[in-house]
Amino acid sequence: MNHCNICGTGGKLVCCESCPNAFHESCLNTEIPENDYICEDCTSRKYLVHGMIVWNKIGNYRWWPSQIIHPSYIPNNVKNMRHSDGEFCIRYFWAQRPIHGLTEDVNHLKPPVRAVTADENVISPCACDSSEQNPCGMDSSCLNRSMQIECHPNFCRAKELCQNQNFQKKNNVPTIPFRTVKRGWGLIALKDIKKGQFVIEYVGEVITHKECELRKSDAS
C-alpha cells in the first residue's frame, strides 16, 4: 500500500504487519508501538468463516484479495494435504491458479461492540430526485443502490420518498420463526414477497453443532 487509508495521500507511512493497511502517523489517533504495528481493523475483526473475503500474502509477493472456500468445493488432492486446525483453503480473485494458500484463524480477545458514526465528509449523494416515479427504487439508476449502499436521509435529494433506506427504516417483511423437522429454525413470510424486495436484515453466522458446542464450552 503506497497511500494512507485515512487521507489517501502518500509519504512516510506506518504499515500494518497483519494486512495491507497503511497510515500516516499524524492521521492515527493512537500511539505507534515500537514493535510491530497492528491496525484497528485487524484487532477488532470477526471470526473467519467460509465465503468471507480476506487478504492473503505469500512470501515476498504482494497482498492479494481472496475468498475462504467451503470444504465441499476443495479438490480432494488439496483437501488431503496436511494442515493445522484453524487453517482455511482460499481462492485468489482474478487468478486462474490452484487452491493452495492457507490462512490461519487465530482467536483474539474481541473489544466491546461500539457504534460507528458515518463520516458525512465522505458520503456521496445519488442523482435521484423526488419528482421521479420511483426515486432510488429497484428499477431506478440510483448510484448508491448500484453499489449496494443505502442513501443517507440528510443528503438524498429524494428526501422522504427515497426507496433505498430499507435497513435504516426497518422496512422488513413480517415473518414468524418456526422449527423444521430436520433443518433447524426458519422463517415464514406472512405476505407475498416480490422479486428483489428487501426481506430482513440478517445478523450472525451459520455454524455447525460441533462449533456451537465448542463455543458454549469456551464461554462456560
Quick: pLDDT tens for 40-60.
877 776 567 788 888 887 777
Q: Tell me, what amino acid is at 83?
A: H
User: Distance between CA 76 and CA 147 in Å, rounded?
Assistant: 37
Instruction: State the greatest distance between any 2 C-alpha atoms of the chain, in Å, as a whole number.
Output: 62
Q: What is the pLDDT of residue 83?
A: 77
Residue 32 has phi, psi (to 5 degrees) of: -90, 120
Q: What is the pLDDT of residue 156?
A: 93
Q: What is the pLDDT of residue 173?
A: 92
Contact between residue 66 and residue 91 where contact means Cβ atoms under 8 Å apart: yes
Please give the chain's pLDDT, 220 residues, in tens.
678 888 888 888 888 887 778 889 888 877 888 788 888 877 776 567 788 888 887 777 777 888 988 888 888 888 888 877 767 888 888 765 555 555 566 666 777 878 777 777 778 889 899 999 899 998 888 999 888 889 999 999 999 999 999 999 999 999 999 998 888 888 899 999 988 888 988 777 778 888 888 888 887 7
What are the beta bridge partners of residue 175? 189
Q: Which three cell numbers stand for residue 40?
A: 484497528
Q: Is 68 helix (H, G, I), strand (E, B) or coil?
A: strand
Q: Which three cell numbers stand for residue 17?
A: 504487519
Q: What is the pLDDT of residue 45?
A: 66
Q: What is the pLDDT of residue 90?
A: 86
Only one residue has cell 504495528, namely 37
Q: What is the pLDDT of residue 160?
A: 92
